[in-house]
Amino acid sequence: MATNTFARGLLLGAAAFGALAGSGVSASAEEVLNIYTTREPGLIKPVLDEFTKETGVKVNTIFINNGLEERIRTEGENSPADVIITVDIGRLAAAKDYGVTQAVKSEALEKVIPAAFRDPEGHWFGIALRGRVVYASKERVKQDKISYEELADPKWKGKVCIRSGQHLYNISLIAAMIAHKGEAKAEEWLKGVKANLAKKPSGGDREQAKDILAGVCDIAVGNTYYVSLMLNGKDAEQKKWGEAINVILPTFEGGGTHVNVSGLALAKHAPNKANAQKFMEYMVSDESQRIHADANSEYPVKAGIKIHPTIASFGELKADTIPIAEIAKHRKKASELVDKVGFDQ
């Protein structure tokens, strides 16, 4: 298998393969695994190192911020990609839709990962969860409960901040609203949220906390892990943004908190398929779940694994039970609604 990889590397040449970190590509006697990922190097390195230590399989990682699916499709049958690691159902579903993944049948994965957080056909698996939650001003917001529906309540007029409605995190949230309430009600809701905005959607999730500190808005929508990154990171300014907010875990009326996944897929032409499956199954072991979720401040997908203390301090997560593969079906409509209500205008 490793020889096979070597041959592919030669075929592809330095331009395509040279970007792979490490030198495992030329060591044909080694067991290797090639990972294509959109995730920041530091976030997945700890768990990759541990995998290599345990199995002896050398991991080559290539980081591709944009166009991961296109790249694998262009490489075609000669693609060295074994495993794809990325975030958000939007990207995982995109990889499947692009035809660059293949189904995995694994009892180990199916036993650990609740059905709501993996593809029913086995093309992708969630390994960690993130909540899309409410950041609330510690100073100005006294309530400690909120529903997503309430974000459209006129009581918040001029007090809500959020990044672009077209960002994939918001598309998934709006798609979840469609899954819960249907298209017409979701549109009404989105109009209501827009009417409450303090400013035109801009920035990332962290900038919404910054705006709360600055008094621009009282509540904002953001992902759970950013709060931990702000509070525990090295940036003194961001620490202040994080300290200005409380996290409220919102729920849908009659549902739970909207969560999304970071996850894995087996590449369609994986040259090191056995190592890929070994890796995917390793990613749901107790040890890797703890290391990975801790490094990323995400919720482990496996029950009973210790949660990062900052994330645990938000209270108990009651994840919404609509399968995210179901939510993903409404993403296109969600994007159309964002344009229709002029959310970003």
Numbered residues of the known binding site: 225-226
Instruction: Mark the binding-site residues for Fe cation, compressed into ranges.
Output: 225-226
Identity of residue 331: R
Provide the residue count of the chain.
345
**In this structure, what are the phi and psi dihedrals at residue 35, rounded to the nearest 5 degrees?**
-110, 130
Helical segments of 197-235, H only: 205-213, 224-232
Q: What CA dihedral angle connects 233, 239, 244 and 249, to 10 degrees?
A: 0
Backbone torsion region of residue 82, taken as left when φ is above 0, otherwise alpha when ψ lies between -120 and 50, otherwise beta: alpha
In whole angstroms, what is the distance from residue 209 CA to residue 229 CA?
12
What secondary structure does DSSP assign to 9-65, as a single string? HHHHHHHHHTTSSSSGGG-TTS-EEEEEE-S-HHHHHHHHHHHHHHH--EEEEEE-S
